[in-house]
Amino acid sequence: MGYTSYVAVGDSFTEGLNDPLEGGYDGPDGVTRFRGWADRVAERLAESEPGFRYANLAIRGKLIDQIVEEQVPVAAAMKPDLISFCAGGNDLLRPGADPDRMAKKLASAVRDLRASGADVLLFTGMDPRDTPIMRRARGKFAIFFMHLRAISDLYGCHLVDIWSMQPLRDWRAWSDDRLHLNAEGHRIVAAKVLDVLGVPTDEWRVTWPPRPSVDPRAKRREDVQWVREHLGPWVGRRVRGRSSGDGLEPKRPDLTTLA
């Protein structure tokens, strides 16, 4: 360990959707703010390092080009000890996504981050085989994550292999939209990140109790509700060329001491 400062860059995964802050918190723009695995990791690192500083530049809905152009230079200029970088999930859900081109973009950004002197933390993503909206793109996800593993090796980065994390294969780690982790899912990821960084913990090795059987009719009702409340709005934004992160600012834009 020994980290005195940490900057997180990325999209909704790193921003912390859907891990609500205790008691809730709406930012000055009226948008609900979330905690998430990155905040949890920063809180743990701060426990052993007085004056620990933390920034989180991640914004929901951002594509890899936006993250590389808007967040990576800012993070590198802050000169922190540790930078986490997770991007690409939103791109891979779009038709025509090219995982090879995305990997080249990511490799260039990782090179810049490492040149700043920071340790860099990278992530694979979940295997989308169990997610209806994503399983058709499973091959593209696999190719991109194989590139990511190679990039991690090439530049000497820490790698959190979420693809292999069995505790996250259970829907009880996910929120109702089936795309974002819930509070327990973020807690599991934070524990895995700390393990990768050398903070002794096995709290990410969760064994879920058996789930009760589900009435097929109830399952169909859940699916219909999911389409109406989550898939429909998501498709609508894609059609209009909009993003859930349009107009949002990072929740912690400055590298400041974490209380």
Q: How far apart are CA 88 and CA 124, in angstroms?
A: 10
pLDDT values of the chain reduced to their tens digit, one per residue, 259 residues:
689 999 999 999 999 998 987 655 555 555 667 899 999 999 999 998 999 999 999 999 999 999 999 999 999 999 999 999 999 988 988 888 999 999 999 999 999 999 999 999 999 998 888 776 677 889 999 999 999 999 999 999 999 999 999 999 898 998 888 788 999 999 999 999 999 999 877 788 787 788 777 777 776 776 666 666 666 666 666 656 666 666 789 999 999 998 7
> Does 26 reside within a domain?
yes
> Does 246 reside within a domain?
no
pLDDT at 108: 98
CA 247, 8, 71, 162 torsion-angle sign: negative
Smallest CA-to-CA distance from 107 within 43, 52, 151 is with 151
Phi, psi of 233 (to 5 degrees): -60, -35
Omega within 30 of 0 (cis) for the link into 182: no
pLDDT at 132: 65
> Does 102 reside within a domain?
yes
Q: How many helices (H) and strands (E) does the chain have?
A: 10, 6
pLDDT at 171: 86
Domains contained in the chain, number? 1
> Does 137 reside within a domain?
yes
pLDDT at 27: 56
Residue 125 · residue 93 · CB < 8 Å: no
Q: How far apart are CA 207 and CA 185, in angstroms?
A: 13
pLDDT at 242: 65
pLDDT at 245: 67
Q: Which residues form the domain of 203?
A: 5-212
pLDDT at 22: 67
CATH number for the domain that contains residue 168: 3.40.50.1110
> Does 251 reside within a domain?
no
> Does 235 reside within a domain?
no
> Does 141 reside within a domain?
yes
> Does 55 reside within a domain?
yes
Whether this prediction's pTM lies above 0.85 is answered by yes
Smallest CA-to-CA distance from 54 within 63, 67, 45 is with 45
Q: How far apart are CA 230 and CA 212, in angstroms?
A: 25
